Structures are given as structure tokens and as C-alpha cells.
Structure 1
Amino acid sequence: MPVIDFHCDVLSKMREDTGITFQNDPKLDVTYDRLRQGEVSLQCFAIYLSERWGIPRYEYILDQIDVFKSRVMTTAEGVRWLRWKEDAAELQKEIGTASRVDNARQLPWGLISVEGADGFEGSLFYVKMCYELGVRFLGITWNYANWAADGVLEKRNGGFTEKGKKLIDLSNEIGLLLDVSHLSPTGFWELTERTVRPFIASHSNAKSICPHPRNLTDEQIRAIIAMDGRIGMTFVPWFVREGGDGPVRPEELLPHIEHFCSLGAENSLMIGSDFDGIDSWIKGLEHPGRYPDFAELLCKHYSESMVRRWFSGNALSYLNVHLPEKAAADAK
């Protein structure tokens, strides 16, 4: 069953440790070999600027784009870079026509996002340049405030700054898609009023099931559904179950899925694992190689066609509509 995963933090790990290789390094959750093992057709690689690096700088974003190009895309047979609507159409064709054996033979695709606008240093020009370099999604904040907006853990719960509102407008204009995972509640609702493109929450679960600040309220879930956005269920254990002893198991994602579906999110739900951004894992769902087991579990409770939508179909339909067209860009 082909998989699209909308969030992992491989690039920041590889930037910190230049000795890590993407092929099969045990320091990584997501590796090339595990993508193939788990039938991952598309992996979104987030550019995250660690607080350990000090003041966020634009060069740290550029460093990670270079890591993707020079150390991920060049691995083994290669990872293909998905940037355009035409690329999504090619991936759609591969997923729609290939057999299981053919899927295992297809080279995976990679997509780049930025997690937190901090590293753009308040420059809309830098934002536009990163789009030109191939970044297609922007998570506006990490957990705290930056020049554009407040994050979800910022106690004052502020919204967008004036420059942050210009960032929304620029993103809508050029086709840079926005991600509200980590954005403050006030910022979330301001964005729903200002954006003309549907946004995603790349890695968040249901707050009604697990009341973590990073999870989505029912009202937020309904708003994303209403605009035809997408929600990536995530494998962060403390976003799945509040407190408690013992390991979190894949079955504990079922109440989140059930709750999303009860609100009408069958066609909005996708996967946003957060692999390599966590230091503890769901037991039995520790890396992409575990996706076939997770698919088998879900197929015991839901139809195969529904599970396929959550694993790849819903994410792909969003990309097919909202990614920019290369032909149109070339014509400018």
C-alpha cells in the first residue's frame, strides 16, 4: 500500500552530523532502505532550525536544501524531487497503475517544507527565493513566537504580525502552501480569514482524544475540512495518549482516526509521522518500514479503499490541485 508521509526531520539531523548517510544509517528513523521497505512513495522532508544552533539564520535553511540535494537525492538509485503539479500527476499515475511489485520498484519522491519562518529573518525576499529553490510548504511557526506569528506554546496566544500578514499574501500569490501545525489558535483563525488557498496541519492529532496543545480542536478540524485542507495524523506518542505508563501502541491511533471520521474528515486525513523529530516511538511504528503492519491493522477496522486514501490518496489529491504548474512557471 503506497504511503505519503507529510513530515519528518531527517535534514536537521543530517546537517548536525555530517557523517550520517541516508541509505541505512541507524541514527535515522527515515532511511532510503526503510522508505523502500515501507512502500513510501513520497516523503516530505521538513527543514527545522534547532534551538541548539542559536539565532535562526537563512543559511541554515539553505544548508538543509543542500543536504537534500547532495546527500538524500544521490542515495542509491536516487530520490526524485517533487515540486510541481506535473510531478504529482506522474506520482498519481505510478500509484494508480502499478502492482505491488511495481510499487516496490519505483523510486521514492521527496518534497521539502520549512518548519517555522524564523530562519527567513523577516525577509519576504528570502521566502520567495526558497520557493524558487523548490520549497513547497511552510509551517509558519514552531512552538513559540517569531517575526510572522505566535506559536502554539506562546502564552499570550497572539496572531499574525503585519509582516506575517504580508507573508500570507505572498504565499498565496506564488503558490507556497501553508501549514498550521505549531501555529497559535489565534493565528489559526486569522489565517482561515485571510488565506485564499486551503492549508494543512501536517502533523497533529485530535485534541478531544488527547488534550495536548499541539493537537487540533473539533472546531479547527471542521474548518480544515470545510476548506478542503488536509490533516496529517502523527505518531508522536504524547500526541496520541495523555500521560500514562507503558508504551503507546498503534491501536491507540484508532480513537483519533474514529474521531476525525466522526467530524467528516475521511477525505482530509493523511499521515504526518514526525519521524526523526521524536526520541520515543509508538511500539511497532518506529520507522517507515512498519507501514505495512500499520496498514494491516487499519484494514481490520476500515475498508481497504478508505485506508488507501489515508495512506496516500487524500494527500495526493491535494497536491494535484494545489501545487504550482511547472509549465505556467516556465512561461512567466
Structure 2
Amino acid sequence: MKVFDAHCDALLKLWRDSTLTFDDSDHLQVSYPALKAAGAKVQCFAVYVPEDVVGDGRFQAAIEMIDIFYEKIVKPYPDIKLIQTREDIQLLGEEEIGVMLTLEGCGPIANDLSRLRTLIQLGVRSIGLTWNFANDLADGVLEKRQAGLSNLGKEAVTLLNEEKIWTDVSHLTEASFWDVMELTEHVIASHSNAKKLCNHPRNLNDRQIRVLIEKDAVMGITFVPYFLNNRSPVRITEILKHIDYVASLGGVYNIGFGSDFDGISETVIGLDSYFGYDRLLNELLKHFSEEYVKGFCFDNFNKRINF
């Protein structure tokens, strides 16, 4: 079973610790050995610059992470291929894995869209306008004022439409979310769950999920335990509950996965790294048809690639 995972933070770990390599499955939840063992077909790698990096150092950090992506993930492994277009996925050989760059928050570009264009030219194919707080483009879910997009944020969405790049609505305030929906032509939620089942600010309510379905977008169910259930321990069955709920709203063909591996310290029991995908797939096949499971794991995200 092929897997398309729309979000991980391995680049952040590799950036923070220069001694790590992509072979280090003891310290990375997404590693080369894990991807090979678990049937990965496309893995998205987020460029996320932490909030304690300030000023122009933020853009510099983003460039450094992109350099790590090419030097430590793409270059050393002949069977890992850069994904920049839908055709690149179609051309993947049976044993090859595609890797794609994404941006989790536009803080690094400050108020300069030329920097956003530069990141796109360097291979970024999905853009989250902000992380949990505010920047020059939008407010995130933990920003107190809960505002929407700025004029610059709206210009950014127009740019992404022109480039056929995904606008990622995970992390946005609800006001920002609806502003994006008025403008976007290519939208996903890379790693968010259903607020009805787990009332966390990062999760999406029914209206938001329904409009994603109406726009034929994909929602990446994420493995963050406290986005799945307010109680612990959290088991794989909780992931299935969120899948079943989104499907009940009419979104069975709009479900994917965005694990958030390497961005989490707590994990779902039995799913503490990419190696655990086999256990998840086995549980999925007990409850859903093979057609649906293939969709969740790969086809639903793959079919929405327009770049």
C-alpha cells in the first residue's frame, strides 16, 4: 500500500542537530530506513522556522533547511526523487520514494513576496500562511485577536493560485480560513482533525470540513495525540474515528494523512514513528474497503496535485 504523508518536521530536527543523518531512525520519526520499510511513496517535508528565531535570521534558517533537504535527503539516496510536479510522481519507479518541500508558516518571508517566490523556485509546493500566531500575512489559531488575512496575505494566496501551489489552511484562525476560501483555487489542510471529536483550536469544525469537501480539497488526518483525543493514552482506533467522522460528512474521498512526525514528542500507541504505518494500514483494512484505504493513504492527495 503506497503512502502519501503531507506533513513531517524532520528538517527541523536535522537543522537543530547537524550530527544527525537521514539514516538515524533512533532520533528521527521519519527516516530513510522507516520510509523504505513502511511503503512510503511521497513524503512532504515542512520548512518550519521556530518562533525563537527572529529578524532576517528566519529567512536564513528557511534557506538552511532547504539546503539540508537537498544535501541530506535527496542527494545521498539514488531512490529518493524530488517531487515538483504531478508527472514526477507518475514517473516514480516501484522502489523509488518522492519527497516534496512545504512551508509551515510564512514568517520567514516577513512582508516580502519576492522571498515567497524564491522559496517556490527552490521547490516548495505547499504553503501554510502562518503557524499558531500572527505574522504579516495572517493570524494563527492561538493569536488572541483571531483576525483574518492581511492585504499581503490575500496577495500571497493570489500568487499561489497563479503558481498552482497548495494553500494550506492548517494553523489558520477561522477568520483566516474563510478569507482563504474566498480566494483559493488550490487548497488543502495538511494536518488537522475534526473538532467535533476533539475540541482543540487546531482542529476544524464541521462547516470548515464541509467547505473543504465542496472545494474538492484533502484534509490530512494527523497523529498528534491531543488533536485526536483529550484523554491519554491515545490508540490507533482514535485515528479511525476521525476518518469515519469526516467520511460521515461526505468526505470519504477527501481524507489523507499528515502525520506531523518529528514535530511531536507524544505519540499514538503503536504509531511512534513512520515504521508504525503498517499497523495503521492493518487497522484501516479491518474497517474500510481497500479502495477507500488506498484513497486515504495515497490517491486522494495525489489526485489533487495541479502543479
TM-score of the aligned structures, taking structure 1 as reference length:
0.90
Q: Which residue of 1 aligns with 2:75?
A: 74
Q: CA deviation at 1:255?
A: 1.5
Q: Which residue of 1 aligns with 2:140?
A: 151
Deviations 1:256-285 (A, max 9, x none): 111100001111100000000001100101
Aligned mates of 2:50, 2:79 — CA distance in 1: 27
Q: Which residue of 1 aligns with 2:252?
A: 266
Structure 2 residue 141 is the aligned partner of structure 1 residue 140: no
Aligned mates of 1:308, 1:34 — CA distance in 2: 20
2:100 to 111, 134, 138: 111
Q: CA deviation at 1:85?
A: 2.5
Higher mean C-alpha deviation, range 31-40 or range 45-54: 45-54
Structure 2 residue 142 is the aligned partner of structure 1 residue 167: no
Q: Aligned with 1:136: secondary structure?
A: strand
Q: Aligned with 1:53: secondary structure?
A: coil
Deviations 1:110-168 (A, max 9, x none): 00000000001211111111111111110111000000010011121100111111111
Letter of the structure 2 residue corresponding to residue 23 of structure 1: D
Q: Which residue of 2 aligns with 1:240?
A: 228
Q: CA deviation at 1:78?
A: 4.2
8 Å Cα contact 2:9-2:48 kept in structure 1: yes
Number of equivalenced pairs: 306
Structure 1 gap ranges (5+): 95-102, 324-332
2:294 to 303, 308, 312: 308
Aligned mates of 2:43, 2:278 — CA distance in 1: 16
Q: CA deviation at 1:88?
A: 2.7
Q: CA deviation at 1:30?
A: 0.5
Aligned mates of 1:252, 1:25 — CA distance in 2: 25
CA RMSD of aligned residues (A): 1.2
Aligned mates of 2:163, 2:117 — CA distance in 1: 8
- After superposition, residues 316-327 of structure 1 pair within 5 angstroms as 316-319=302-305, 322-323=306-307
Structure 2 residue 16 is the aligned partner of structure 1 residue 16: yes
Q: Which residue of 1 aligns with 2:283?
A: 297
Q: Which residue of 1 aligns with 2:89?
A: 88
Letter of the structure 2 residue corresponding to residue 11 of structure 1: L
Q: Which residue of 2 aligns with 1:192?
A: 181
Identity %: 38
TM-score of the aligned structures, taking structure 2 as reference length:
0.97
Structure 2 gap ranges (5+): none
8 Å Cα contact 2:110-2:135 kept in structure 1: no
Q: Aligned with 2:250: secondary structure?
A: coil
Aligned mates of 2:83, 2:154 — CA distance in 1: 27
Aligned mates of 1:313, 1:140 — CA distance in 2: 25
Q: CA deviation at 1:83?
A: 0.2
Letter of the structure 1 residue corresponding to residue 53 of structure 2: W
User: Which aligned segments of 4 or more residues in structure 1 are displaced greater than 3 angstroms?
Assistant: 75-78
Aligned mates of 2:19, 2:114 — CA distance in 1: 32
8 Å Cα contact 1:72-1:78 kept in structure 2: no
Structure 2 residue 54 is the aligned partner of structure 1 residue 54: yes
